[in-house]
Chain A
Amino acid sequence: MLKVDKTLVFASWIIVEPAEDIPGVWVAHCLEFDVISQGENPHHAIDSVTEAVAMTVVDDLHNGLDPNERRAPAEYWDRLAQVLKHGSQVSLSEVTGDANVVLATQVTLVFERRLQQNSAEAFSQFNVPPTTAHVNPQARAA
């Protein structure tokens, strides 16, 4: 078994909200990497964006690029600040797919790098899923 040569940890903020233009769809936006995905409910959207972020980060690492250079524009960070400031913290398990709210939560992604015999890099990845979220019913766009 090849030894882990390097461990990279990324903690990423995610804003999750119902899509305004598609009924029944929730959109999740990871701000650190400006990666967006969607799902049938908040939990599905968070799972989806976590997978998309993992793929994105591995792509960048394989290409020798810094994934942190993908940050979302400032307006989205301002929005996160509003949700954190005015929202209340709840257990993610309490959040249902029919709530018309904006959520902010944080996922941690861990990447372990192994150098193979031919010097190629191989990354394995696991997540520390979020357990709580800040919920703000007032932050929905009109």
Chain B
Amino acid sequence: MQHECVLEEGGGKHNWRFTKPGKRPYTVPAHNGMRTEISWIYIQGLCRAMDIPITAFSG
């Protein structure tokens, strides 16, 4: 499924942020670059912010 959600450069310790047309940017707590593990609570918040169905992340 396409969600048109893209990763852009952020600032500070939050080097990345998600953007999506018509939505407000959402920061990513990536403190270890692309190797950062992100908790489920954060994924849920991202889905709320970007209107992504949470089922998109289910295996």
A residues at B contact (CB < 8 Å): 19-22, 25, 27, 29, 34-39, 48, 51-52, 55-56, 59-60, 63, 65, 70, 72-73
Q: Which residue, of B26, B37, B39, B46, has the highest number of chain A Cβ atoms within 10 A?
A: B39
Chain A residues near B17 (CB-CB < 8 A): 55
How many interface residues does B have (CB within 8 Å)?
22
Given contacts A37-B29, A60-B24, contact A51 B38 (CB under 8 A): no
A-B CB pair tally, cutoff 8 Å:
68
Given contacts A51-B12, A55-B14, A73-B48, contact A35 B41 (CB under 8 A): no
Expressed in whole angstroms, the minimum distance between the Cβ of B40 and any Cβ of chain A is 5
Q: Is the Cβ of B45 less than 8 Å from the Cβ of A29?
A: yes
Q: Please, which residues of chain B bring their CB within 8 A of the CB of A56?
A: 24-27
Classify the interface of chain A: helix, strand, loop or mixed: mixed
Contacts of A36 in B (CB 8 A): 29, 41-42, 45-46
Interface residues of chain B, those whose CB is within 8 Å of chain A, are: 10-14, 17, 24-27, 29, 31, 37-42, 45-46, 48-49
CA of A29 to CA of B39, assembled, Å: 12
* Dominant secondary structure of chain B at its interface with chain A: mixed
On whether the beta carbons of A27 and B42 are closer than 8 Å, the reply is yes
Are A34 and B14 also in contact (CB < 8 A) when A20-B40, A56-B24, A56-B27 are? Answer: no
Contact of B41 among A27, A39, A63 (CB under 8 A): A27
The smallest C-beta distance from A51 to any residue of chain B, in angstroms, reads 5
CA distance A116 to B37 in the complex (A): 40
Task: Given contacts A37-B42, A39-B29, list 15 more A-B pairs with CB under 8 A.
Answer: A22-B39, A34-B45, A34-B48, A34-B49, A35-B27, A38-B31, A38-B38, A51-B12, A51-B14, A52-B14, A52-B27, A55-B10, A55-B11, A55-B12, A73-B48
B13, B29, B40, most chain A CB atoms within 10 A: B29
